[in-house]
């Protein structure tokens, strides 16, 4: 991990992302408290965890309520394992570009933006590293296009800015020369487009090709 230096927090409300990973609930809620998160938006398609039951939906919602944090499930709209066969490539991989164009995704994003108008929120999935999670690879590009710059909460209450995460993405996908070139924003944007696709090919959810062909997901 190579997060940026801890920046000054922006004026509230702010949009964060966070992965619960293998944290115990007290550790997790401490991360939220450190950044005054008032609403946790769960973007997991399946909000259950056998290994970490504290992050299964009923238990999590109750635990968060006890800490004064609201809970909103948007996994059907913004989850990385959609039910819609049109959101999958022929090889069974979720097509993040296609999903961003879907009615369900856009409805979910609009709900997030409405909530953000009144309170600080965090999008939550499982992976600690945003570069390995659909919250960064699928959702964040559309947030950026809407003028929102997410902040990614990492272990130890470190913040990685969206720009820093994108630079790390460029470096990890073979575009290091563009990552440090600030003289050509168009070249960086073009490289980012390719880098997102390369990373999605590695980390997007996959199903059996047959399930896509017959629409059984």
* Domains in the chain, CATH or no CATH each: 15-161 (3.40.1010)
- Summarize the confidence of residues 154-170 as an average pLDDT: 97
20/27 Cα distance (integer angstroms) = 9
Q: What is the pLDDT of residue 185?
A: 83
Query: Residue 167 class from Cβ within 10 Å (0-12 exposed, 13-18 middle, 19+ buried)?
Result: buried
Contacts for 87-90 with beta carbons within 8 Å, 24 or more apart? 88/207, 88/212, 88/217, 89/212, 90/209, 90/212
| Band (201; pLDDT cuts 50, 70, 90) | very high
pLDDT in tens, 53-111: 999 999 999 999 999 999 999 999 999 999 999 999 999 999 999 999 999 999 999 99
Query: Residue 98 class from Cβ within 10 Å (0-12 exposed, 13-18 middle, 19+ buried)?
Result: middle
Question: In this model, does residue 119 exceed pLDDT 60?
Answer: yes
State pTM to two decimals. 0.90
pLDDT in tens, 185-194: 888 999 999 9
Q: What is the pLDDT of residue 13?
A: 83
120/16 Cα distance (integer angstroms) = 8
Q: Where is average pLDDT lowest: 11-15, 140-144, 179-183? A: 179-183
């Amino acid at each position: 991990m190579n997060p940026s230096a801890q920046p000054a927090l922006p004026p509230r409300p702010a949009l964060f992302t966070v992965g619960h990973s293998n944290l115990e609930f007290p550790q997790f809620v401490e991360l939220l408290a450190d950044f005054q998160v008032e609403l946790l938006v769960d973007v997991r398609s399946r909000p259950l965890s056998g290994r970490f039951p504290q992050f299964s939906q009923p238990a999590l919602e109750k635990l968060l309520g006890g800490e004064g944090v609201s809970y909103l499930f948007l996994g059907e709209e913004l989850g990385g394992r959609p039910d819609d066969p049109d959101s999958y490539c022929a090889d069974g991989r979720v097509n993040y570009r296609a999903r961003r164009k879907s009615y369900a995704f856009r409805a979910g994003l609009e709900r997030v933006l409405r909530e953000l108008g009144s309170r600080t929120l965090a999008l939550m999935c499982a992976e600690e590293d945003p570069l390995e999670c659909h919250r960064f690879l699928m959702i964040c590009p559309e947030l950026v296009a809407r003028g929102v710059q997410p902040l990614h909460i990492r272990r130890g209450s470190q913040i990685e800015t969206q720009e820093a995460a994108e630079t790390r993405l460029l470096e990890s996908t073979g575009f290091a020369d563009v990552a440090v070139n600030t003289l050509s924003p168009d070249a960086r944007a073009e490289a980012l487009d390719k880098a997102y696709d390369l990373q999605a090919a590695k980390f997007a959810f996959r199903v059996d090709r047959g399930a896509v062909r017959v629409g059984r997901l």
